[in-house]
Amino acid sequence: MPAPFSHDCQAGTTATASDSPLPNVAAALAKHKKIKILAIGASASAGRGARHGGYTGEARQILRQAIKGLDVEMINRGISGELATQAAARIKNEVALLEPDMVLWQVGTNDALAYVPIEDLKATVVDTLTWLKEHKIDTVLVGLQYIDRMEQDEHYRKVRDMLRDVAAKENVLIVRRYEAQRLLSQAAVSGGGLFPDEFQRTEAGYTCLAQYMARAITLGIFGPGGLGPRSAPPAIGPQPQQPPSAPPTRM
């Protein structure tokens, strides 16, 4: 069973994750009933309940509930403020030390804020994804957030698009919270939102992110039809109508 969404997060479930398999995680699950996830990124443990592991801790709980008998070890090695190029070097070291089945990489925000050239960032991400694949480690990328203010920032949009393109080309799963948060935001503008203030929405976004992530991982392991063979694209939660102003999603 794919992990469920809470009511609050259903507004933003359209295309929150791509359809990409997690064969190494599935193999680890079948073999040991245990998966080891290495979380790398600026705010790997952000969100409410930092002492319980933040959103990655929430995702671990959801996964344990969704997959009976599953033991999930989530190791947070987020270093705040670091750029992708530094994170990439660290991923290789941490993989050598911890030997995870999957890397959860929240990438792009710091590079977008620091105006790192898109091509440099792209080269770093592609190189790291290739290296992880060669070492039989699955990757889940966590994309950029939706922030009203950053909509005007061309570089920020370019980073977001680049990450989606790279994920599609490399067949890597990406949790697209940008789209999800934008829908939450648009619902708020039209008076139907649960979080009228953007600051609250950003915070609530982490709760939803945990759910999207857990959902994406279960789909990545089992495919959209539960434990059966993967055949059709996944239907990730309820599919509300896409607002007319929203550009088509790319994946």
Partner 1 sequence: MVRQANAVDFWRGLALVFIFINHIPGIYYGRFTHANYSLSDSADLFVFLAGWALRLMVGTPERRQSTWYLVLRLGGRAITLYAAQILITMIALAVLAGCAILLDNPLLLEWHNAAAVFHDPVTTHVGLALITHQLGYFDILPLYVVLMLMAPIIAIIDRYIPQTLLPISLLFYLATLLIPIPFRTWPVEGLWFFNPLAWQLIFVLGFVMAREDGLGGFVRRHIVPIRWISVPIVLAGVAFMLSGWWPDPTKFPRPRLLFLIDKTYDTPPRLIQFLALIALMSATYPYILRASKMLVNFLSMLGRNSLYVFCVGSILSLAGQIVRHIYQGNLLIDTAVVISGIAIMALTAWLPEWREDVRVRRGTAAAQPS
- Which residues contact partner 1 by CB under 8 A? 42-51, 53-54, 56-57, 76-83, 89, 92-93, 95-97, 109-111, 113-116, 135, 145, 147-150, 153, 155, 198-199, 201-203, 206
Cβ proximity to partner 1: between 71 and 82 the closer is 82
CB of 238 to partner 1, least distance (A): 26
Q: Are 48 and 203 in contact (CB under 8 A)?
A: yes
Closest CA to 215 of 226, 231, 205: 226
Token pair in block for residue 218: 């279960």
How do strand 34-41 and strand 173-175 relate by DSSP bridges? unpaired
- Rounded CA-CA distance 7/152 in Å is 30
Cβ proximity to partner 1: between 195 and 222 the closer is 195
Cβ proximity to partner 1: between 47 and 220 the closer is 47
Going from the C-alpha of 197 to that of each of 117, 201, 203, the distances in angstroms are 32, 6, 10
Cβ proximity to partner 1: between 111 and 179 the closer is 111
Alpha-carbon 186 to chain mean position: 21
Cβ proximity to partner 1: between 147 and 166 the closer is 147
Token pair in block for residue 212: 């999207």
CB of 219 to partner 1, least distance (A): 25
Cβ proximity to partner 1: between 46 and 208 the closer is 46
CB of 249 to partner 1, least distance (A): 22
Q: How many residues does the chain have?
A: 251
CB of 4 to partner 1, least distance (A): 23
Non-local CB neighbours of 143 within 8 Å, separated by 6+ positions: 108, 160, 163, 164, 167, 174, 175, 176, 177, 178
Closest CA to 133 of 90, 160, 102: 102
CB of 205 to partner 1, least distance (A): 9
Cβ proximity to partner 1: between 32 and 48 the closer is 48
CB of 14 to partner 1, least distance (A): 22
Alpha-carbon 29 to chain mean position: 20
Going from the C-alpha of 86 to that of each of 30, 38, 107, 120, the distances in angstroms are 33, 16, 11, 12
CB of 228 to partner 1, least distance (A): 34
